[in-house]
Amino acid sequence: MKKILNDQEEFTKFYDRALKFLSYRPRSEKELLNWFKKKKVSEKTQTLILLRLKEQNLVNDEEFVKWWIEQRTVFKPMGKYLIARELKQKGISQNIIDPLLHGSTVSLPEFDLAKKAAEKKIKTYKNLPPLEFRQKLSAFLARRGFSWEIVNDILSDQRPRRNNI
């Protein structure tokens, strides 16, 4: 009887804590499982809580991917490559990432995102010699996950504004 009560108490305690953890932002299933391990939740309780959260659609990797892509395009512009890598680190399978990132569900105007990301750096780099300006801006955009074609387009777009870039 005591064991059943403890299981029930553990479930209630960690279910409430999981709800609080999820209240800050959406989480992937892997993030939640890592959080459970950090909190030393029993595997049985982890499974039960995860099932309940999935039933309530509070843990849904597809919805998490959509949210993550939106956050990365609106608040911190970055390219598809970096977004895909971040999602992979969050434990999302490639089967979920590819259709949502490259499919018609989310349209990413990568040139516009790269331009938005570059605007701030262009102000920082404006007094640099042309070659160094080009190198630093292209390295910055590459670190942000933009393809070489997009980086080249941004640099070409800057050429009329700066001579000899």
For 58, counting Cβ atoms within 10 Å of its Cβ (0-12 exposed, 13-18 middle, 19+ buried), the class is middle
pLDDT for residue 158: 76
- What is the average pLDDT across 92-121? 81
More reliable by pLDDT, 123 or 161: 123
Tokens of 98: 């590819």
pLDDT for residue 100: 86
How far is Cα 21 from Cα 32, in angstroms, rounded to an integer?
9
Provide the mean pLDDT of the chain.
87
Kindly tell me the number of DSSP H helices and DSSP E strands found in the chain: 9, 0
Least confident interval from 2-16, 100-114, 115-129: 100-114
Task: Report in angstroms the alpha-carbon separations of 94 from 48, 64, 71.
Answer: 26, 14, 19
pLDDT for residue 4: 55
How far is Cα 86 from Cα 77, in angstroms, rounded to an integer?
13
* Its pTM surpasses 0.75: yes
- What is the average pLDDT across 30-44? 93
pLDDT for residue 103: 67
Q: How confident is residue 159, by pLDDT bands cut at 50, 70 and 90? A: low
Residues 6+ apart with CB under 8 A from 57: 63
